[in-house]
Amino acid sequence: MSKHGRREANRLIRQQQLQEAKRKRSIRISAIAAGVLMLVSVGAYVVYTNTADTTHNVPQQANAAGTGIVAGSGPIKVEVYQDYLCPSCRAFHAAAEERLQAMVRENKITLTTYPIAILDRLSTNRYSTRSAAAAGCAADSGKFAQFSDALYDKQPAEGGAGYTDEELVNVGRSAGLGDPFASCVRDGTYSGWPGFATEESSRRGVTGTPTVFVNDKKVVPGQGQTITDAVFNAIAGS
């Protein structure tokens, strides 16, 4: 091989060595970056789990999961997800609640109501959360249905301040609730419960209210149907 040929061969060898070194350096950098990303992700998860609300009181008459209030023990399971600030929930309640409660008394259905808080952003004092927490207090006194009636009858408008705790106490008194209820509301006994119930509802795919399931099947109104008609048609067909 000529002198020039040896130089060219050596140059090509050095070039290959440099390219290999560069490739290995890239692999090391990628591995380090992936490790850092994994640590950040794990760290974020740890922070989330450490800051998530894991302690909350559960009202009496709640279901086994601690997410809703149960009435009746009939063979057909009806589940209603509602927000006390939601106008559509108020309309559904006005149209359906009396018939649903009659079915509870006739032992036709087991009714589970989930007071969730997805509309806190539409009040200036987290009314959805506080009214749901107060409903938990009403359940302890055996007047969940009556208190729900009163809340919907006196539903505040979206976009402003909902009722204060003292005003919720007064709403409760109008529904026949007494001092134990008042103390429960003032002490914030169930203040952490609506957030838990809301988070659990999202795991089930609930994205709005009212959302109703009959025997674990989500009720979706057909063309020209109201949610109320669809619910009672689903119950009749069960």
DSSP annotation of 121: G
pTM comes to 0.77
Q: Which two tokens stand for residue 126?
A: 């987290």
pLDDT-derived band at 238 (thresholds 50, 70, 90) equals: very high
State the sign of the Cα–Cα–Cα–Cα dihedral 204, 90, 146, 220. negative
pLDDT (tens digit per residue) in 125-136: 999 999 999 999
Share of the chain above pLDDT 90, in %: 76
Measured CA to CA, the distance from residue 182 to residue 165 in angstroms comes to 9
Query: What is the rounded average pLDDT of the residues 92-119?
Result: 98
pLDDT (tens digit per residue) in 30-54: 444 444 333 333 333 333 333 345 5
Pick from 125, 155, 153, 151: nearest CA to 138: 151
Judged by average pLDDT, the poorest of 30-44, 71-85, 102-116 is 30-44
Is the pLDDT at 57 greater than 60? The verdict is: yes
Predicted pLDDT at 33: 42
Measured CA to CA, the distance from residue 66 to residue 50 in angstroms comes to 21
Query: What is the rounded average pLDDT of the residues 80-97?
Result: 98
Q: Which two tokens stand for residue 216?
A: 């674990």
> Residue 2: helix, strand or coil by DSSP?
coil
pLDDT-derived band at 55 (thresholds 50, 70, 90) equals: confident
Q: What are phi and psi of 218, to 5 degrees?
A: -65, 135
Query: What is the rounded average pLDDT of the residues 208-230?
Result: 96
Predicted pLDDT at 50: 36
- Average pLDDT value for the chain: 85
Predicted pLDDT at 115: 98
Predicted pLDDT at 102: 98
pLDDT (tens digit per residue) in 141-161: 999 999 999 999 999 999 999
Higher pLDDT, 181 or 44: 181
Measured CA to CA, the distance from residue 213 to residue 232 in angstroms comes to 11
Is the pLDDT at 22 greater than 90? The verdict is: no
Q: What is the DSSP string of 36-78?
A: HHHHHHHHHHHHHHHHS-------TTB-TTSSSEEE---SEEE
Say if CB 156 and CB 85 are below 8 A apart: yes
Higher pLDDT, 15 or 160: 160
Predicted pLDDT at 16: 55
Higher pLDDT, 162 or 12: 162
Predicted pLDDT at 68: 98
Compute, in degrees rounded to 10, the torsion defined by CA atoms 10, 11, 16, 17: 70
Query: What is the rounded average pLDDT of the residues 96-122?
Result: 98
